[in-house]
Amino acid sequence: MNIIQTLATSHKWNLPTVCPVCGGELRLSDNHCQLKCVNEYCKSKMSGRIGKWTSTIEAKEFGLKTIETLIDNGVIDSISSLYTMDLDKIASIDRMGKRSAAKMKKELDSHKEMTLAQFIAGYNIEGVGERVIENIINSKKYKTFNDFFAYAESPLRFVCDGVGDTISNKLAQGLEALREDMEKTLTFITIKNPVPKKVVTGGVLGGKSFCFTGAASRPRKELWALVEKNGGVIHESIKKDTDYLVLADVNSTSSKAVKARKQGTNLLSEDDFVKMCGV
């Protein structure tokens, strides 16, 4: 590669440091590709967080546009506020009405039981999905919401198989920032025990481990279910003993793909993975 021309008029850009929505601090993401607001209650982040929650409890009346409309009209401003919505106020919003308000309330009332992993993951803390919480629960034996808060000030206590320092710190920071709203939401939600997963021995994937990365045509949970159903093991991140990395493009030059090749992990497309499962 040769330098063709140096632009003398070029100048250094100063990145914005203040969120234009809430006035909170902006910081670069871990990959230095995005600016993110650190305020967990920022209006722009809250629509996504509430959307994750309603998706977790399968409340289909709450699409993203509906959530944004409710936020814009001052009906909701957090997850806990979903359970204290003013139905008359919703009914007065253009294109909603009493029927929509009633259907929303009915959905929320019919989905008030969830596991601890679903509850914490439903708050959409960056990098912290349901499986991450399940790994911590199984490895650390943290069984209650208070168990997690007891160790939030010592984030390395969350580090376990599949959960590294970065995710552990993000979980601790998220719990601290969202604790007040989580505690309010718990007054409306019942935490239930998870249904024990059936451990499959043998199977076409028996003894093999799989890590997934990037976009896929199927939901990640569906792909994980195929692994477990066929006797395989899921790795949240690539390890030395990971057998397969499943991704969209086996010729990818992403950091995970490069790492996988270096350590001898096989790269597998989603289609080939599904065929391996006999689907």
pLDDT at position 274 is 95
Q: What is the pLDDT of residue 50?
A: 96
pLDDT at res. 199: 66
Hey, is 185 helix, strand or coil?
helix
**Domain pair 43-111 / 209-276, same fold:** no
Q: What is the predicted pLDDT for the residue at 264?
A: 94
Q: Which CATH number fits domain 43-111: 2.60.40.1730, 1.10.150.20, 3.40.50.620, 3.50.50.60?
A: 1.10.150.20
Say what the pTM is: 0.76
Domains in the chain: boundaries: 43-111, 114-191, 209-276
Can you give the pLDDT at residue 11? Answer: 61
Q: What is the 3-state secondary structure (H, E, C) of the chain?
A: CCCCCCCCCCCCCCCCCECCCCCCEEEECCCCCCEEECCCCCHHHHHHHHHHHHHHCCCCCCCHHHHHHHHHCCCCCCCHHHHHCCHHHHHCCCCCHHHHHHHHHHHHHCCCEECHHHHHHCCCCCCCCHHHHHHHHHHHCCCCHHHHHHCCCCHHHHCECCECHHHHHHHHHHHHHHHHHHHHHHCCCEECCCCCCCCCCCCCCCCCEEEECCCCCCCHHHHHHHHHHCCCEECCCCCCCCCEEEECCCCCCCHHHHHHHHHCCEEEEHHHHHHHCCC
Residue 31: predicted pLDDT: 62
- Determine the pLDDT at residue 2: 57
β-bridge mates for residue 27, sequence order: 36
The pLDDT score that the predictor gives to residue 271 is 95
pLDDT of residue 156: 82
Per-residue model confidence as pLDDT tens for the chain (279 residues): 555 555 555 567 778 889 988 888 888 776 666 788 888 888 888 999 999 999 999 999 999 999 999 999 999 999 999 999 999 999 999 889 899 999 999 999 999 999 999 999 999 998 898 888 998 998 888 888 888 988 777 878 888 877 888 889 999 999 999 999 999 999 999 999 887 777 677 789 998 999 998 888 988 889 999 999 999 988 877 888 899 999 999 999 988 899 999 999 999 999 999 999 987
Q: Are 114 and 191 in contact (CB under 8 A)?
A: yes
* H helix or E strand, kind and range, residue 255: helix 255-263
Q: Which CATH number fits domain 209-276: 1.10.30.50, 3.40.50.10190, 3.40.50.920, 3.40.50.10880?
A: 3.40.50.10190
